[in-house]
Amino acid sequence: MEIHYILDNKYVTRSDIDILNTRIEISQKVKYLGRTFADDGSLTEEVARRIRAGWAAFNAIRRELLQSPQKTRIRLLTTTVIPAMTYGCETWTSKEADTKRLQRAVSNMFEIAGCDPPDMEKQVLRRKLKWAGHVSRMKYDRWAKIVSEWDPRGSARPRGRPPKRWADDIKDSIKIFIHNEALRGNLGHGRRRIGILEARRAWSTVGRDRVTWRSLVRSIQDGN
């Protein structure tokens, strides 16, 4: 009998599943489209895989890298190593510990190459914001939009400090962006806009404005 695997969580009642003589087993982690998904939502295994992928990409170009001028070295690292380490990060709900692990690995590689390392927190956040902008402009029948904006009814968040959600980084970035723009006096007729941004699911509203969203992404790149 052929065996396939599915991922569940603590809210699912477990039972044996057989489909057309195929046994469906419950697993604590599943690889799908190049990413490892864990039943508890953690990124521990996925970040470890991204770091291994980054070192594999680094070692593949190591000889050419160390023989190249610094400008070329930076170009090689940002076009080979960084994409390998941030693959799929648009959907991450990463913790500070995850970002620190990525940063340590990247810093080691860039140090070997004699280059200044990028800020991995900003690298991940910038990619996440770009994806969120695409999602916000999708039609409402697209699965990516449905699951990104889905709010499970009847399920209260646990007591204590609530677990981090995917959209939390995006909402925080919007607040910082609006604060900085206000300090610069760039909001113009922004009082109405601020009201929109602070509304529920604000990121999916402001993301429809391409100009504003690009400014938000650029602010992360510029280090604001």
- pLDDT tens profile 103-142: 999 999 999 999 999 999 999 999 999 999 999 888 888 8
Mean pLDDT (the chain) is: 80
- DSSP classification of residue 9: -
pLDDT tens-place string over residues 132-179: 999 988 888 888 888 887 766 555 666 767 777 888 888 888 877 777
Task: Mean pLDDT check: name the lowest of 7-16, 49-58, 123-132.
Answer: 7-16
In this prediction, what percent of the chain has a pLDDT beyond 70? 77
Tell me how far apart the alpha carbons of residues 130 and 197 are, in angstroms, rounded to a whole number: 17
Taken in order 127, 133, 138, 141, the sign of the CA dihedral is positive
**What is the structure's pLDDT at 155?**
59
